[in-house]
């Protein structure tokens, strides 16, 4: 591994990405971007990041806002536990760290939603200190470099990669090295058909030498997704729509959803006017589940005639509803009506 880190740094300075909105001297923005980029592509994250940091430019503003405000800006980005952890962490940072992110691995990893790799990113990109990043792009580069055909999503593989990555850390220019390693995986050492002829460390790559780069990384086949049937009803007046706060645990906890079909007892239905043309059924894919969603639409002239639990349900202006903390499939439905 002759001068591996120096080759990465030199390549980054010429060919790396330098125009991403979070590439600034601000650990707060580095932290936000790293959380948003978990399981999410850069092009998807950019508009969310810009909108989020415009509303909450620093830790103090984020700590003082409500979870509802955070979830509303996160709506559509998915994996909502990330938004909840960001809000929790901001409150802790205000209380215990004077509205600043700590600059040690140990302190960072005590905060909600920050694991070893995210802490490494904050250290190297935000504080220019040594830090190991193990996102998907970096893992792929390191597995190919070492010719490691162990399953990528196995605990023992991650453990060995962590040790390998520590050995490769440079003594200086930690930010350039970490960003360069991520960029190399994103733009050159791609999952399929990597452009090995453009790689600055191809001479060190065991997978290239053995011509097995398209066989790495190896992944264990995931269990087939379970299907879940969701039957929603959309009840609206001329200007308002009925939404329900989801108090149940799970990915959509604390978000606003459409009421489920079971809300419609016979007594309630007589106050509603069904719209003959139903909304077409559709499938929404989650990482672990396939949601089969159907929808019936009803109108009501006098919303006060519909008995509802005011602690769970709320009438919301239709134009405002799309800006609330709602999951992506609900947002798509509301946008269409």
Q: How many CB atoms lie within 10 A of CB 17?
A: 14
The 8-class DSSP code of residue 259 comes to P
User: Using a CB cutoff of 8 Å and minimum separation of 24, what contacts does 95-99 make?
Assistant: 99/58, 99/59, 99/60, 99/63
- Nearest-CA neighbor of 331 among 86, 149, 24, 78? 78
Q: How far is CA 50 from the centre of its chain?
A: 15
d(C-alpha 303, C-alpha 13), whole Å = 62
- Beta strands 226-236; 289-299: pairing state: parallel
d(C-alpha 141, C-alpha 188), whole Å = 10
In the chain, the DSSP E strands lie at: 226-236, 240-245, 256-257, 273-274, 279-285, 289-299, 313-317
Is 34 labeled as catalytic in the residue annotation? yes
Catalytic residue among 13, 25, 34, 260: 34
- Nearest-CA neighbor of 14 among 186, 141, 183? 183
d(C-alpha 134, C-alpha 113), whole Å = 15
Catalytic residues: 34
């Amino acid at each position: 591994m002759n001068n591996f880190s120096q080759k990465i740094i030199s390549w980054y300075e010429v060919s790396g990405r330098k125009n991403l909105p979070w590439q600034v001297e601000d650990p707060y923005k580095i932290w936000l971007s790293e959380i948003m980029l978990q399981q999410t592509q850069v092009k998807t994250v950019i508009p969310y990041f810009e909108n989020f940091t415009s509303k909450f430019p620093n830790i103090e503003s984020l700590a003082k806002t409500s979870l509802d405000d955070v979830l509303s800006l996160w709506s559509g980005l998915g994996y909502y536990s990330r938004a909840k952890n960001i809000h929790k962490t901001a409150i802790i940072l205000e209380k215990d760290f004077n509205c600043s992110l700590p600059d040690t691995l140990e302190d960072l990893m005590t905060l909600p939603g920050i694991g070893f790799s995210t802490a490494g990113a904050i250290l190297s990109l935000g504080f220019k200190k040594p830090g190991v990043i193990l996102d998907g792009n970096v893992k792929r580069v390191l597995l190919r470099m070492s010719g490691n055909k162990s399953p990528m999503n196995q605990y023992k593989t991650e453990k060995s990669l962590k040790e390998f990555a520590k050995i490769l850390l440079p003594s200086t220019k930690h930010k350039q090295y970490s960003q360069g390693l991520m960029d190399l995986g994103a733009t050159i050492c791609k999952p399929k058909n990597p452009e090995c002829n453009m790689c600055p460390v191809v001479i060190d790559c065991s997978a290239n030498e053995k011509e097995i780069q398209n066989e790495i990384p190896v992944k264990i086949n995931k269990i087939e997704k379970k299907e879940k049937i969701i039957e929603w009803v959309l009840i609206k007046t001329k200007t308002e729509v009925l939404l329900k706060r989801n108090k149940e645990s799970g990915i959509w906890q604390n978000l606003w959803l459409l009421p489920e079909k079971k809300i419609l007892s016979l007594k309630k239905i007589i106050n509603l006017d069904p719209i003959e043309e139903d909304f077409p059924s559709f499938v929404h894919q989650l990482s672990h589940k396939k949601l089969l969603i159907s929808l019936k639409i009803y109108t009501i002239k006098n919303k006060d005639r519909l008995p509802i639990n005011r602690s769970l349900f709320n009438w919301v202006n239709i134009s405002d509803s799309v800006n609330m903390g709602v999951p992506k499939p609900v947002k798509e439905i509301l946008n269409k009506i």
